[in-house]
Structure 1
Amino acid sequence: MTEAPLAPEPTTLVRNAAFAVAWDASAERHAYMPGADVAWRGGAITFVGRGYDGPADRVIDGSGLMVMPGLVNIHCHPSSEPMNKGLTDEVGSPGLYNSSLYEYLPIFRGDPSGVKACVRVALAELLLSGVTTVADLSMAHPGWLDLLGESGLRVVIAPMFRSARWFTRNGHVVDYEWDEKAGVKAMEEAFALIERAEQHPSGRLSGMVVPAQIDTCTPELLKDSHAEAKRRGLSWQIHAAQSVVEFHEITRRHGLTPIQWLDKLGTLGPNTIIGHGIFLDDHPRTRWSTDIDLGLLADSGTTVAHCPTVFARRGIMLRDFGRYRRRGVNIGLGTDTFPHNMLDEMRLAAYAARMMAETPRALTSADLFEAATVNGAKALGRDDIGRLAPGCRADLVLVDITHPGMRPARDPVRSLIYAAADRAIRSVFVDGHEVVRDGKCLTIDYAAAAAELEEAQKQMIAGVPERDWAHRPLEAISPPTFLTI
């Protein structure tokens, strides 16, 4: 019996787009291509150019549209951060250099029943702002992989593990409770979960190795996890140089800055991502006796995951994006906190860099767009996402350049970043499948998830005084904007 031939996979075509942000392979950069046709089939881009004359099962009129590559987010915490909206917007510990990590992170934590709503809200916001690939740095939770698979996103799961937890008993000293065996066990479980992700039927899940923080992991855990990540061909990410407290803790323990300590351990390199990387040896708040950290990052090929919003809330900022890039550091972007809006994050990254450098020439919009696309892809070890080119995955975004916020559309990427933002996102495709249409998420009920999240936050708030070191009521920790009368 002869088997019937398989039907050819359907082809989608955007015909005569007003603009495409196409990949210029000869120059290795993005470029505007007016009047472009973009076609894809079976999850892969087959054509970017003009005058497409091949088959097309679905044709989208490209007039009034910009086609651009999907954005790549390399640092995100979907399972926890959405719960903090309205709580951590204005907090920072005065006795801990205004960081919110040590005093507030442990007390604003919901129970497991609220995690699913957190994840769905975050992933919906990412999709609606044009993200097609995200690194999800979370503690493992039930149903995690299927929840990510249902979202339609391309997700790099990054189950965090550590040897210690941090806490404060008085608001100005950070203590650590160590359990080295638990850290090793959690690392082994993380590798097993990554293997499951790689076999997930969605075909869009992969893994990243993440010892949670430089100050909560033993040297052995750092070295062993990095070596295994390298052996498996996986990216390795760690929160480091993210607070003044951490900087002083590492210099106290080792006589080296956080970046120098990672270098001594042999954990810097092309597969390494430093979450935040703000407090280097030449930062004004930590001025150390050396001036080599930036060079160590650049020369080793290490990536910095830049997430400006969460730090800007505390009056803290990288100094500065343009300086890192000029030295040769690969910088990608992430949404470390709510809202999970990548376009808002890009805009703040640009303004913050220019303020820190005190010049509008600190970075260009091209630098920024590269950080959100090809630089992030490079950090993940991929050259088939973050760019529009034949053979790349069909992860792309259609932007409505007739939207009032986009007009005048002389330079549509600038109009998108600095003016219209997610309001102009019309459609998003991941692996060729439409996951956002007419500005609505097709895979997640965003409104329902947000309502569920609100109820989960109410339950979490009730336990805040018990978890707080001083047993303060919520209103004393995070006062409302206005008094209630």
Structure 2
Amino acid sequence: MTTTVIRQADVAIAWDAAAGQHVYLPGADIAFADGRLTFVGRDYAGPAEETLSGSGLMVMPGLVNIHAHPSSEPMNKGFTDEVGTPGLYNSSLYEYLPIFRADAEAVPDCVRVALSELLLSGVTTLADLSMAHPGWLDLLGESGMRVCVAPMFRSARWFTRNGHVVEYAWDEQAGEKALAEALTLVERAEQHESGRLFGMVVPAQVDTCTPELLRDSREEARRRGVSWQIHAAQSVSEFHEITRRHGLTPIGWLHEQGLLAERSIIGHGIFLDDHPSTPWHTRRDLDILAETGTTVAHCPTVFARRGITLKHLGRYRRHGVTIGLGTDTYPHNMLDEMRLAAYLARTQATDPRSLTTTELFEAATIGGARALGRDDIGRLAEGCRADLVLVDITHPMMRPARDPLRSLIYAAGDRAVRAVFVDGRKVVEDGTVLTMDYPAAAAHLHEAQKRVEAEVPRHDWAHRSAEAIAPTTFRWR
């Protein structure tokens, strides 16, 4: 067992167990062996087969991303930057999501591009919400990341024939079969030779699953001791659909079904009963989320593109709601997502104090870890996994570095990330992903998008071209 020591880091973001919070620790030594941290403090005097200089570095825990779709979203760059269906409250889900899809050949490149971007921005743990695809687990193992495998399943697919009505094609037996297949994948993930994969149960959306499928899936998650996540309160159309079906809001209905608890995660959770776009006769949704210990996976970028945002992150935090962060869309850059989350929270609150950087970093680390049922990630403490991010605090965009985390989030971003370790293995060095060929995957994806673009008229309800749906910034001459 080889012990590696980072000596005399300028600063570490260490975990103060007594206070239950992160702290700045200057002059820190960090030691790790066999994938775990063995020392976080000063003046390490133990064995050291390998020593790294911490001069000019900030060492922080790897970020925890609890909501992403790596197998599809990278393909959407250039397609969905500025689209939203006017007749469906500017959501892009129902009209555009089904037509801009990576084909089977492109899926591995989508995954490699997304995971590379995540690693480069300091993410060491990811929840991958994807439909099952060939070679999925081995591809995740290859990446070097710690991944919560979250195969989605559902009883219905949504579609629109006209751009203002959402319809559902139901197949309840297919949903039950897909649940069984997802559970098998979760078991395989936990047995994977990499040792870094684990699982989650994910009925895809609140409006595409039968009550029976939701209850069965939640019971399986409880029985297996894994987390359970669902997309809910993510669009105005969905809010109206659930209130029409059940006379309750999406959050209220999930609660009535007994589905919300500490290991439950709501993907997005924007349209509550007191949101300005969905005013309802109750004012209980925020209380329900807080009282049940449910986590909200907040992914601001994908909604901000369509003029939509949660109202507002600081309010959720003050109400006692657990928050985790995700990168629902491209770019899969967690530091960018954190910056936008902070700015949107403050503009929505019209208050610069509404969300602190302390709370933001907690959401990106221990908030996400808690949602995944892990107390061994998202913090630098002895016994935790050796998931580390080394930040160059001498980078010009980090200077001045009176408060280095703020300099990282609000100024330097991923440009200052020097190296990333997962389980003590270096997976990023000097801006290069060591486990995957990011440039090659991006080049393949560029070619694959041409195939997808050619197929758009066949999948679109109005048989429009990609250029008609999403015109380029300037016309090509």
Moved more, 451-460 or 74-83: 451-460
- The Cα shift of 1:138 comes to 0.1
Structure 1 counterpart of 2:127: 135
**Alignment correspondent of 1:381:** 373
Q: Select the residue among 248, 252, 272 that pairs with 2:244.
A: 252
1:334 matched to 2:326? The reply is yes
Measured in 2, the distance between the counterparts of 1:198 and 1:127 equals 21
Structure 2 residues without counterparts, runs of 5 or longer: none
Map Cα deviations across residues 227-261 of structure 1 (whole Å, 9 max, x no partner): 11011101000000000000000000000000000
What does 1:410-449 align with in structure 2 at a 5 Å threshold?
A: 410-449=402-441
- Which one of the candidate residues 121, 125, 138 is aligned to 2:117? 125
2:440 paired with 1:481? no
Matching residue within 282, 291, 305 for 2:283: 291
- Amino acid aligned to 2:7: R
Poorly superposed stretches of 4+, deviation over 3 Å: none
SS in 2 for 1:215: coil
- 1:380 CA displacement: 0.3
Provide Cα deviations, 1:331-381, integer angstroms capped at 9, x if missing partner: 000000000000000000000000100000111000000000000000000
Aligned length: 477
Report the identity percentage.
74
Distance in 2 (CA, whole Å) between partners of 1:109 and 1:363 is 35
Query: How many Å apart are 1:411 and its aligned residue?
Result: 0.4
Partner of residue 19, structure 1:
11
Query: Which whole-Å CA distance do the structure 2 matches of 1:55 and 1:63 have between them?
Result: 20
Equivalences for residues 188-207 of structure 1 within 5 A: 188-207=180-199
Q: How far did residue 425 of structure 1 move?
A: 0.3
Q: 1:271 maps to what in 2?
A: 263
| Structure 2: distance between partners of 1:103 and 1:405 | 41
Match status 1:218 vs 2:207: no
**Residue 197 of structure 1 aligns to which amino acid in structure 2?**
A
Shift of 1:438: 1.4
Give the deviation of 1:474 after TM superposition: 1.2
> Cα deviation per residue 1:117-159 (whole Å; 9 max; x = unaligned)?
0000000000000000000000000000000000000000000
Residue 184 (structure 1) aligns with: 176
Q: Which residue, out of 39, 43, 50, partners 2:31?
A: 39
CA shift, 1:110, in A, is: 2.1
Structure 2 counterpart of 1:367, which letter?
E
| Number of the residue aligned with 1:148 | 140
- Offset of 1:83 from its aligned partner? 0.2
SS in 2 for 1:216: coil
Distance 1:232 1:117 in 2: 32
Identify the residue that residue 5 of structure 1 maps to in structure 2: none
Tell me, in whole angstroms, the C-alpha distance in 1 between the residues paired with 2:291 and 2:304.
28
Aligned to 2:76: 84
Cα distance in structure 2, aligned partners of 1:115 and 1:437: 25
Structure 2 CA distance, aligned partners of 1:474 and 1:434? 41
Check if 1:168 corresponds to 2:186.
Answer: no
Residue 302 of structure 1: aligned partner: 294
Aligned-partner SS, 1:112? coil
> Is 1:343 matched with 2:360?
no
Aligned to 1:406: 398
TM-score w.r.t. the length of structure 1 is 0.98
* Aligned pairs for 1:222-233 within 5 A: 222-233=214-225
Shift of 1:111: 1.3
Q: Separation in 1 of the partners of 2:357 and 2:466?
A: 41
- Out of 48, 53, 57, the position equivalent to 2:45 is 53
Q: Equivalent residue of 2:309, what SS? A: coil
Cα distance, 1:475 vs. partner?
1.1
